[in-house]
Amino acid sequence: MELLKKSGLLIRIEQSLETMRDFLRADGGDVELIDIEDDMTVKIRLLGQCRSCSMSVMTMKAGIEEAVLKAVPEVKAVIAINEEDLKLI
């Protein structure tokens, strides 16, 4: 993916994540944008209480993924990665 296009996508994705941050922070959590792959898969990392919360899957699918897909329709999927996955990047 060309750098200019990727940059624009990352900005739009970050803006969509920003709409979710108040809700996440209210419960002691947050989200970090890691990257967007050439296949249009967005990688994020859940932070704080979101990492171990029993509702994190619901937060991911019904909240974060929905916000990103709505704001950036080019995105095909949003996946959460963990600390071990980050070491491989």
pLDDT at residue 51, rounded to an integer: 83
pLDDT per residue as tens digits for the range 32-84:
999 999 999 999 999 998 888 888 888 888 899 999 999 999 999 999 997 66
Please say whether the dihedral angle defined by the alpha carbons of residues 14, 24, 83 and 61, taken in this order, is positive or negative.
Answer: negative
Domain that holds residue 46: 3-88
Residue 82: its H or E element: none
Q: What is the pTM of this model?
A: 0.86
Residue 12, domain CATH: 3.30.300.130
End-to-end Cα separation, the chain, in angstroms: 17
Tokens of 22: 């108040």
Higher pLDDT, 73 or 4: 73
Provide the number of structural domains found in the chain: 1
Q: How far apart are CA 58 and CA 65, in angstroms?
A: 10
Tokens of 70: 């709505």
pLDDT at residue 89, rounded to an integer: 55
